[in-house]
Amino acid sequence: MKVKDMKNTGEIKIPILNNEYKVIVVFGDNKVVSKCLKRHKFKDTDFEYGTDRAVTVFEEETHPVIALPRKPKTPEEIGNLSHEAVHAVKYLFDFIGEKSIDEVFAHSVGAIVREALS
C-alpha cells in the first residue's frame, strides 16, 4: 500500500517488507528534492542532479529517497528508476542485516518500480 502525496510534495512512499521500512520516490527539480530530504530529516539537504538522470540518497536512520526529474516515461527513464530501486532495496537490506538477495529482494525492487509508475 503506497502513500501518494504528488500534489503537495511530489512524493510517493512505498512500504518495503512492512510499514516500518519505506522507500520514498520523488519527482522534481533540485529544489523539490532538497525539500523532500529536509522533510525526512536528512542531514545533508543540498541536492543537485548534476549529470545524474536519477539518484538514490540515503543516510543512516533515514528512508532511502529515489529522486528523478519527472515520472519515467521512456525505456531509458524506466531503466534508471529500476537501477535506483536496486540501490534503495540494497540499502534497506543492509540496514536490517538481511543477507539473502533473492526472491524477496526482487519483489521489493518490483514493488518500487510498479508503484512509482502507477
pLDDT at residue 1, as a whole number: 47
pLDDT in tens, 59-75: 888 999 999 999 999 99
Is the pLDDT at 56 greater than 70? The verdict is yes
Beta strand 11-16 with 3-5: parallel, antiparallel or unpaired? antiparallel
Mean pLDDT, range 3-26, rounded to an integer? 82
pLDDT at residue 27, as a whole number: 94
pLDDT at residue 3, as a whole number: 58
Average model confidence (pLDDT) for the chain? 88
- Dihedral sign for Cα atoms in the order 16, 87, 55, 52: negative
Contacts of 65 (CB under 8 A, 6+ apart): 23, 24, 25, 26, 33, 36, 37, 40, 42, 56, 57, 58
pLDDT at residue 6, as a whole number: 54
Element (H, E) at 114: helix 103-117
Is the pLDDT at 111 greater than 70? The verdict is yes
CB atoms within 10 A of CB 37: 21
Cα 88 from Cα 57, distance rounded (Å): 8
Percent residues over pLDDT 70 in the chain? 92
Mean pLDDT, range 94-116, rounded to an integer? 91
Cα 9 from Cα 70, distance rounded (Å): 13
